[in-house]
Amino acid sequence: MQRIFLLLALVLSLFIGFARTAQLAVMVLNPQTWGDGRPPSDWQIKVHHGKPMISTCAGAVGSCLDLKSDKSSFALERSVDVDPYETRYLTWRWSVAELPDGGDFRHAWTDDQAAQVMVGFDDRKVLSYIWDTTAPKGTMQNASSIPLVHIFAFVCESGAADLNRWLSELRDVAADYERAYGKTAPHVKGLRIQINSQHTGTMAESLFGQVVFRNKPE
């Protein structure tokens, strides 16, 4: 009997160890579930200005979404419930085909980006990861132009050097939140993918592959 208990204890310890080291992932965006640019029921299209142009595509990363802006501003968003300390790494792949000419998030009158990934938290604070036309890669600063709206931006990519190339991004959301707001990050409650070119009156186009929260860097 004692031997059986020892074996059970060994199996249980191995199971717990595996569970602690197993890859945890929360799939947020899976373009394979989109039909002809139409979002699944858990996604919504939010239009701020102009007409949204959304289609599905096939690229180097497999299925993808193609967003085009003609002097417009729109987003795709969905609700989530993610513990940023359990699955703290946000990963995605994106490609930009056209940048909004003159776009620069640092000024309200040029605040256009071909691609943004925005993470909304339970306290209504937001992290914005952007591919900017002008602001240098690595720029980090407040991006709120409206009182009581808290958006902190991180420039992940900049300029036209990598146009039409698929790039992979990895962000530690918990660490970015702490850096931006100086406190422990609450739960993530929403994610938004956005494109806009209305301020500069230009065109923009970007493509997105899967967007996933993970407990380990991939």
CA distance 98 to 9: 58
Look at 78 and 18; give whichever has higher pLDDT: 78
Banded model confidence at residue 12, pLDDT cuts 50, 70, 90: very low
Residue partners of 204: CB distance under 8 A and separation at least 6: 68, 69, 96, 98, 99, 100, 103, 112, 113, 114, 195, 196, 197
**Range scoring the smallest mean pLDDT among 14-18, 27-31, 128-132:** 14-18
Task: Please give the share of the chain, as a percent, with pLDDT higher than 70.
Answer: 88
pTM summary value: 0.87
**pLDDT above 90: residue 43:** yes
* Band (8; pLDDT cuts 50, 70, 90): very low
Q: Within 10 Å of residue 40's Cβ, how many Cβ atoms?
A: 10
pLDDT in tens, 99-108: 999 999 999 9
In this prediction, residue 9 carries a pLDDT of 40
- In angstroms, the CA 109 to CA 148 distance is 19
**What tens digit of pLDDT does each residue of 45-70 get?**
999 999 999 999 987 778 999 999 99
Structural domains present in the chain: 24-214 (2.60.120.430)
Q: Measured between alpha carbons, how far is 134 from 114 in angstroms, rounded to an integer?
A: 11
Per-residue pLDDT at 41: 86
What is the chain's mean pLDDT, rounded? 88
> Would you state the pLDDT for residue 177?
98
Residue 98's alpha-carbon distances to 74, 160, 163, 170, in angstroms, are: 16, 8, 7, 22
Q: Which two tokens stand for residue 107?
A: 């000024």
Structure tokens at 47: 């239009």
pLDDT at 212: 96
- pLDDT for 23 beyond 90: no
Query: Which letter does DSSP use for residue 38 in this model?
Result: B
Does the pLDDT value for residue 191 go beyond 50? Answer: yes
